[in-house]
Amino acid sequence: MYRVIVLLLIVFTVSTAFADTKMDITGTLEWDAMQITAIVSLDLASSGIKLPAGRIQGESLLNESCLKLIQPGILDLQVDSSSTISDIIDKGEFSLPEIEALVLNAISPPPSLSPDMLKMTTSYTIPLSGVSSVILRHSRPKQVARTLTPVSAAQYTGIVIIASESLPVYGMRNTAIAVPCLFPKIWDSEMNLIYERNMLESRNISMAHYSPLQGVFQKNPSGLSAELQAVVGEKPLKIFASGVFGIKPTDLIIDKNDAILIISSEENRRLLSQGKVAIILDESVLKQEFVSK
């Protein structure tokens, strides 16, 4: 109900303030790049702006309207298996002013004019790491799980979990394609929790980085793309997810033997607390587009 009210207020505000002004937004949520990118265009004639004298006015109008146009896309961002940004606002765990701050701090180049001088356009980029850092609240990290029967394990530079195919859903008789979120949990095959957001040692660390399958089939010694190597290094532990869990299939289940390799040594446990985790998903779930007019 709160979400509906918020969206109605946004629509009302935009339609009232810019009733005769044509503004379009095309946005993309890119999980592999860990960012939200929006392109906003202003029709200069409908807003009564004449160039060159009205350029500053156009830029101001473009920036002021961006906040209200991009908010609906942020509200639908999946936080974890059971919640979107809108849901955690309803719970009092996040607020609209915090969304406004994220948008106002977006990376944006100076607006440009179309060749026919009829439209002014700019883009806005919001890193997902900035969103997650605002949501995280813990001041002291939770200890990563340990095992009473550690095994000898190599010292890895990161963890890569491959979950690009449809996987069994825990407790159900069906399968599902894993989908991304800001805070995916990792469970072992006995449903012991291996990784969750409160284990991160810093609020400025992304919990997981996402990539399509081709990111682990590159022609180099590690087999990894440059983007993945920057996260998990050249000698990561590569494992396959055995299932998914959650209201939305964001949480991964891995074999207990693979989990033990991670939690048997302090060095490998730190890979979790430092967010050196990459998740390989089907390419179709890594980009989501939204359009507002």
Q: Who contacts 194 (Cβ-Cβ below 8 Å, separation ≥6)?
A: 144, 145, 186, 187, 188, 254, 259, 262, 263, 272
pTM: 0.86
pLDDT for the residue numbered 47 = 67
13 confidence band (pLDDT: 50, 70, 90): very low
Between these two residues, 193 and 104, which has the higher pLDDT value? 193
Cα separation, 200 vs 139, in Å, equals 10
Contact 206, 26 (CB under 8 A): no
**Residue range 142-169, pLDDT digits in tens:** 988 888 788 988 899 999 999 999 999 9
Between these two residues, 29 and 67, which has the higher pLDDT value? 29
In this predicted structure, which of 18-22, 54-58, 107-111 has the lowest mean pLDDT?
A: 18-22
pLDDT, averaged across the chain = 86
Residue 1 has pLDDT above 60, yes or no: no
25: tokens are 């937004």
Total count of residues recorded for the chain: 293
pLDDT for the residue numbered 21 = 62
**Residue range 257-271, pLDDT digits in tens:** 999 999 999 999 999
The position carrying tokens 């359009």 is 291
- Torsion over CA: 106, 185, 262, 235 (sign): negative
